Structure 1
């Protein structure tokens, strides 16, 4: 009798995470027959999991993560619309603050998806809830800095819609970090900074005006200091899949570049058949192609190789510096350029037929157009310095040239100002293309890692 019980208990022992058991009756005796079931075929696994499904080293971006990015397409569109109505130096700064806060939420979930599969189980459910909150935040952006009793509710809604995704992210990340003490330490440091950042965020929403601008900027800086500097240096954020991490950042940059094309449609709609407007649209398209080439053809792939080949410690630090933070300048630069392109087209459509090339842009519009180019090119230099650790002289000079062209662009007609920027970007592409391997910042650097 004891032998039978022992035998039955032995049958019920788990043989590992990839085994399930089916039970059959043969006469009066009970026996167990093991059969192998893959994780994908196991229906129980898709109902509830005691542990998260960790991201594998070869993981690529999932369709769910690309779907997640769609809510940021809407958010970026709303930020550009907010800055342009009306376009002032203050709205440029306020729009940048909104962009930075949205970037924090996006990069948080990119790190989470690199730790655990974003499209499975509780992580997918929590990420979907975060998407809903971010969507609401984007909806109320037009009232983000308005005055009045009704807009106070909009500001508080925006603050709350930011807090919810960050709180969900921390909860899901702690869940995904089960058993990893070092990652728990990192999350503890970051959670403290995040909670502290909520205070100026809510206080700024209540006060409004200048106080709101300063307090929301402080909220981002607290988050940046705690997550990007302190937590990463004290304990570190592990990169489980370099390919997944680099691909996610490339995809979000493509989304931002798409906003440059969307801005053409927004600005050109009233007079899309006019020749100067069509010329401006083609110039905007050419500029966007140049921006794409400068990153994806000259920087992204080799930087990804460098990240994959780096030591674990250096990889983790480079991921924070080059991707989580240097990419802010790339994204902000593209958004400002998109805003500047929209303003050029507005000038052209409103000055037909008196001024075929448009009147000169004001300083704010010119700053958006050329300051955006400066941010993008400077961000690329920083990105390369943190990854391949080498930048040719041409890369270093290009951001300064963009700024030097700004005063000249200010006195030119709007169409000529856009044309000057396009010529500069095309010349930069040709220079780097003709330079070939001699000017390639990544030609030999990956072997040094």
Structure 2
């Protein structure tokens, strides 16, 4: 075949010929195997995946602004439930593109509608527990059910089909709860949606297990460590980016008064220190850690929960940034103090979990820092937000400095913990 007739032929690792459109993008001929990732090729995230992540900047911004406008325990619960829904959308899509090739037009035709659905979910966030509940729930269910159904049909006859079918069935069960919740209101919707959000965690922990079919093969198949680690790193950058965007937008709207400039610098320092604590070193070594694990798929799933905790901490910290910039010298407020300090504390809890998954131990600095942040929240509540921010910066800076020193003195090799009992260590 010549370039003149629209493509070129390239050899694959299994001896098959594959047409490309002249730019290296594969052109399928209807064979389901052509939709699978070729693990002999570079496993970097594709542009459509990065485009997908941009949607999450908007989603996280909507979540933080909504919580900022309803800073109550119920508002925090609402935000947690909605964040879980967004997280399952992102995680299951990341796992799909880890197995299937997002450079394929067929896969892009699935991801792009997921992006649109996620935008609709984000638009419905402020009134999700009011009149826009059905919009949020319907968009979420269509995303989850539609993705699993596509994989089941498109990959017919391949090993991945059974697992995607089990995921489809579980997504339908979960979807019934989301739609049922949307048909109610008040605390009833909160309870039903909370159960639905927890069910996402349960079905993942059970490997989408069903009677007679057993656990799905989704979590026992080989994974691309490079790709999945990069996706986790990228979603963390997205979360940090949302925090910077929210703080910058708040600061720009209020002017360059001295107090607000100082407050903005402090919020930037908090975000920068959280970023440093993530990427030094477990976040940076994540590809090697996944590759070193005897059960990389199970490890990657556990890592997703750690990243969910960190993302929740960043969202809460983003709300704290808005408080610090908007009310730098306001009077005592226990809720504000809790938000400013407990956001980083939740983040450190997730980061400590990632430490354990990566090195089979937890850095003492993270434990001490977490306990200090939680313990000091009620103690420093009498201080204005800008001084509470100073407390957060000092604690986080101490953790970052301790990380740097301890790593130089005693660097660690990736040593993931052994698989849980009963887990098949084979990929």
Provide the TM-score with structure 1 as the length reference.
0.82
Matched, 1:198 2:175: yes
Change (3 A) 1:121 1:399: same
User: Is contact 1:59-1:243 (8 Å) kept?
Assistant: yes
2:3 corresponds in structure 1 to none
Aligned twin of 1:166: 144
Q: Distance in 2 between matches of 1:246 and 1:42?
A: 26
Q: Decide whether aligned partners of structure 1 residues 88 and 48 sit closer, same or farther in structure 2, where only a CA change above 3 A counts.
A: farther
Cα distance, 1:42–1:93 mapped onto 2, change above 3 Å: closer
SS of the residue 2:361 aligns to: coil
Alpha-carbon distance in structure 2 between the residues aligned to 1:78 and 1:17: 45
Q: Does 1:256 align with 2:226?
A: no
Q: Distance in 1 between matches of 2:414 and 2:125?
A: 46
Post-superposition CA distance 1:68-105 (Å, at most 9, x none): 11111111111111111132121111011111100000
Does residue 96 (structure 1) correspond to residue 96 (structure 2)? The answer is: no
Tell me whether 1:303 sits opposite 2:286 in the alignment: yes
Q: Quick one: structure 1 residues 359 and 235, their matched pair in 2 at CA, closer, same or farther if it must change by over 3 Å?
A: same
Query: Aligned equivalents of 2:37 and 2:111: distance in 1?
Result: 16
Counterpart of 1:84 in structure 2 is 68
C-alpha displacement at 1:122, in angstroms? 1.5
CA shift for structure 1 position 388: 2.8
Asked whether the 8 Å contact 1:55–1:241 carries over to 2, the reply is no
Mapped partners of 2:323, 2:417: distance in 1: 45
Structure 1 unaligned segments of length 5 or more: list them: 1-15, 20-35, 349-356
The match for 1:189 is 166
Which secondary structure state, in structure 2, belongs to the residue aligned with residue 49 of structure 1? coil
1:228 to 190, 205, 216: 205
Q: SS of 2:281's equivalent?
A: helix
Partner of 1:358: 330
The CA deviation string for residues 26-57 of structure 1, in whole angstroms up to 9 with x for no partner, is xxxxxxxxxx8753449996376332432233
Instruction: Tell me the CA shift for residue 178 of structure 1.
Output: 4.4
What CA distance in whole angstroms lies between the structure 1 residues aligned with 2:68 and 2:418? 46
Partner of 1:26: none
Identify which of 35, 38, 43 aligns with 1:53: 35
Tell me whether 1:378 sits opposite 2:349 in the alignment: yes
Following superposition, the deviation at residue 176 of structure 1 comes to 5.9
Q: Give the whole-Å Cα distance in 1 for the aligned partners of 2:53 and 2:414.
A: 34
Give the CA RMSD over aligned residues: 2.6
Deviation per CA, 1:364-417: give whole Å up to 9, x if none: 222222221111111011122223322232233332222112112311111101
Task: Check conservation: 2:267, 2:321, Cα contact below 8 A.
Answer: yes
**d(CA) in 2 for partners of 1:50, 1:120:** 12
Measure the CA separation in 2 of the matches of 1:207 and 1:177.
Answer: 37
Determine the structure 2 residue equivalent to 1:320.
301
- Which string of whole-angstrom CA distances, capped at 9 and with x for unpartnered residues, describes residues 165-215 of structure 1? 11221023325644443x334333332321111122111111111111111
CA contact (8 A) 2:222 2:296 kept: yes
Structure 2 Cα separation of the partners of residues 18 and 176 of structure 1: 23
Do 1:123 and 1:172's aligned partners in 2 also have CA atoms closer than 8 Å?
no
Correspondence for 1:434 among 395, 405, 409: 405
Whole-angstrom distance in 2 between the partners of 1:145 and 1:121 = 36
Aligned position for 1:105 = 89
Q: Kindly provide the CA deviation profile for residues 214-248 of structure 1, in whole angstroms up to 9, marking residues without a partner as x.
A: 11111111121112334389344234311000001
Q: Any unmatched runs of 5+ in structure 2?
A: 1-8, 420-427
Q: Distance in 2 between matches of 1:92 and 1:43?
A: 46
Higher helix share: 1
Residues 239, 316 of structure 1: 8 Å contact kept: yes
- How many residues are matched? 398
CA 128–44 in structure 1, closer or farther in 2 if over 3 Å, else same: closer
